[in-house]
Structure formats: C-alpha cells, structure tokens
Structure 1
Amino acid sequence: MFQPIVNSTHGVTLLGAGAVNQIDVDDALTIAPCLVAADGGGDRALDLGHEPQAVIGDLDSLSAQARAHLGSRVHHVAEQDSTDFGKCLALIEAPFILALGFTGQRLDHTLAAMSDLFRTSKTVVMLSEEEVITRCPAHITLDLEPETRVSIFPFGPVTAHSSGLRWPLDGLEFSPDTRVGTSNAALGRVEITLNGSALLMVPREGLGAMLQALGLPQT
C-alpha cells in the first residue's frame, strides 16, 4: 500500500464518483493536469470525455466496461481498512492534489472523505458543490472579498488568532463537541494562526484565493 502508483511532478486531479460536473473537471485539469480516478470515478472520467492515467480502489463500483477499456491503468487495492479516497491519497506522489467527486451523495461517504482529508499530510484541496476545503495550515493568509464566508471545523481541541474576520477567533476554544467556527465572514484580507487541527472552508468563488494562499498554481 505504501509503494506509490502515481508519481507526478505536476498537480493531480483526483476524481471520485460523487457529485461533479464537466466544467469543474475541465477547470481542475488546467490547474492539476494529471488525472487519477478513485474506483467508480473511472466511469465518471470516461463519461466526461477524459482518460485517467490510473484508477485506484477496491473496484467495487468500477464498471466492467470501464475496467476492460482502462486495462493496466486499473489498480486493485483489496484491503478494506481505508476508503478509496484514502487509498488514492496514500498511493499518489505529487506536489498537490485537487479532489472532486467525493461529496454530495451519501453522507457517510462525505464524512469519511472529510476524515481522510484531515488525516493526510499531503497538500489536498477538495472541491465540493459549494465549498473549497483543505486542512488548515498553522498559518494562512487569504485575500478574500468582504463578506466571503469562512468556516473552521475542528478535529480536536483548537485555539487560534485571527485578523480580518467579523468574529475574531482570539481567546476562543474550539472542539467538535463544544464550539465549531462555521459561518464567519471575511472583512477583506484574512490571517489565521492555528494551534490544533481543523478543516478550512470557503465558498467555491474563493478557490483562487485558497490556491494562492497555499502557494499553488491557479492555471
């Protein structure tokens, strides 16, 4: 499980079988041109007119037709201790990953994807139908339009310092079972210094700002 299947010097677009559309995939590939699919995401890629360089997963949802078409690009990982998204994250080596199609259908799958996103040490930006989501680094600066929604969801005890938010984070303690920092709002440029582990979410129109803040290409 630890020998990489995909090694890319460019960003990877990782496609799942969840909610995704043609425009999002096409746009993602301009930023991260190496396309990899997670299990049934292989069918989704082909339906959208794209040929994945690899399909990784336990293959319980990839169609027989797609499997025959893709041939040696299909990589069966049989163990059941991780999700297909988690398998892909473990088996891809790349500067960063843009993940699409891992939300919007079954809630348990979406929650599992959020957990995988939190656990990985790799740079991953996930696109859902409405949000851009990443594991929040210890310090981040986002150039956002005023009134842009900014949410922090903790995965354990979290304290933070912030500037540029309508409701400052200073002096507050966050955790999944007490206080979560959803639906804050930017006043303009936002700076967050985080002590702990949390996911950072902004609306889809904040993708460019998120990529810039993480030092990633935007085209």
Structure 2
Amino acid sequence: MDEEFTPLDCLLATAVLRACADGAANHLYDITAGQQDSFLPDYISGDFDSITAEVKAFYAEKKCQLVETADQDLTDFTKCLAIMVEEIKRRQLQVDTIVTLGGLAGRFDQTMASIETLFHALSMTPLPLLVLQECSLAYLLRPGSIHRLDVNTGLEGDWCSLIPIGGPCRTHTTGLKWNLDNQVLQFGGLVSTSNTYEPVAPGDQRKTVTVTTDQPLLWSMGISRDRK
C-alpha cells in the first residue's frame, strides 16, 4: 500500500470482512488521512505492542472490534488470519479469496514471516491467500493439483517466479518463457526466479500459465503500476 498505487479502495468495495494485524492499523490510519471513516476494519488483532494509543483509541471509538492475541509463538499475521477464518465459518460468509496488503517489503525477517504464514494457511483454510505489496504478489501453490493462473487482466508485470521455500519441489509448467518439465526446484540447485511469460504475437493475449507441483511452491509475480 502506498500513495502511488493501492488496490485498497476497490478491494473494500467487494470485501465482506476487513481486518488489520496490530501495527498495520497505524499504516491504514495514516494513508487514509481525512477519509478514515471510509476505510474502517471490522476488527484489529494482535498483542498490541505496535499500534499507537491514538490509533487504538480512534478505532475503538468507531466500534471496530479489538481482539488481543498474546501468543508469541505465532505472528500477528497468522493470528489475524486464524480469527478471519473462524469468522468466515461462523458467519457463513461467501468468500472467494483472502487478500493481504503489505508484508513483502521492509525488514527481511518480517517478509519471511509473511511467507511462513502462507504455509500455516494451507492447513487453516482451503481459500487462496494472496499477499500484495507495491509491485509484487505472492501466492503459495498447493501440491497435488493443476494450478491455472490467468495472467491477462492487464495488471500483470513482466516477471514471475517459482521458489521452493519449504523444500525440493518437482514441478511442471506451461505458459512460461522458461518452462519446467518435471524438474526439481530446490535451493542449491535450480530455482526459477526472474522468469517471464511465453512470448505471444503483438495484440495477442498471454497464454494461461499452468503449474503442477508435488510440494507447496511459492508463486510470485510482478504487478504493473500502469493500468492497461
């Protein structure tokens, strides 16, 4: 989320549940200055060691639920997601995707913690969980099925990658410039960073990308700042 490019407004228009994880509430409060009432979360969760007293008091006054989660074995992101999954079930909400804004920039250890939450999510919910920040999107592909990724919305950048974060992954792809033919991706071996899409003739659409993997595999891709 930044001042130049943010999908926040369009996501809120269709979101049925909105949440902030602890200090993210500070960022939401700051970037929506003067319009905070139009961007209220349903709840804010965390151990509240990062949210400022001013921001906490503002959202409390606006009747946003404050859920304290003191468990230090899990990140605020993971704990916030757990609450969201339970709320979706309890309220029987019709949800297609869980989208997280932020978590892929700044401190490297916190970026890795965001990726680790994607692994927790595999056992927490069948819903896809996307993480978006600035010009990057991250999504952990589940093993055992063919993933079909539509890359023709007009908002995709030029790069994409498949990174075996959790361990070796036997992978097959179509639709990429450098496809994988049941090859094993692993650190110290082959890792498909700085990949791109299969070239197409001018005016044609990119082909759908397909990926199969026998282990959880991190897909990331560029997001264009220029809406086509």
TM-score by length of 1: 0.77
The 2-side partners of 1:177 and 1:167 are apart by 19
CA contact (8 A) 2:19 2:43 kept: yes
The 1-side partners of 2:141 and 2:2 are apart by 24
2:44 alignment partner AA: V
Task: State yes or no: 1:89 paired with 2:100.
Answer: no
Deviation at 1:92, TM superposition (A): 0.8
Match of 1:59 in 2: 48
Match of 1:128 in 2: 133
- Which has the larger strand fraction? 1
Task: Specify which of 152, 163, 166 is matched with residue 153 of structure 1.
Answer: 163
Per-residue CA distance 1:26-48 (angstroms, 9 max, x = gap): 13223435321000111222231
Per-residue CA distance 1:98-134 (angstroms, 9 max, x = gap): 1012122111111111111133123211102211111
The 2-side partners of 1:90 and 1:147 are apart by 31
Contiguous gaps of at least 5 residues in structure 1: 1-18, 207-219
Per-residue CA distance 1:140-180 (angstroms, 9 max, x = gap): 12233598322111121101111121212113211234322
1:202 alignment partner AA: M
CA RMSD of aligned residues (A): 2.4
The 2-side partners of 1:147 and 1:82 are apart by 32
1:199 alignment partner AA: L
- Label 1:104 to 1:117 Cα distance change in 2 as closer, same or farther (>3 A): same
CA contact (8 A) 2:23 2:50 kept: yes
Task: State yes or no: 1:28 paired with 2:11.
Answer: yes
The 2-side partners of 1:140 and 1:148 are apart by 19
CA contact (8 A) 1:118 1:198 kept: no
- Label 1:59 to 1:177 Cα distance change in 2 as closer, same or farther (>3 A): farther
Q: SS in structure 2 opposite 1:87?
A: helix
The 1-side partners of 2:119 and 2:192 are apart by 16
CA contact (8 A) 1:157 1:173 kept: yes
The 1-side partners of 2:157 and 2:51 are apart by 41
The 1-side partners of 2:189 and 2:2 are apart by 33
The 1-side partners of 2:80 and 2:15 are apart by 15
- Label 1:162 to 1:84 Cα distance change in 2 as closer, same or farther (>3 A): same
Query: Which has the greater radius of gyration?
Result: 2
Match of 1:196 in 2: 215
Match of 1:143 in 2: 150
Task: Specify which of 56, 59, 62 is matched with residue 70 of structure 1.
Answer: 59
2:139 alignment partner AA: T
CA contact (8 A) 1:20 1:100 kept: no
Match of 2:203 in 1: none
Count the aligned residue pairs. 189
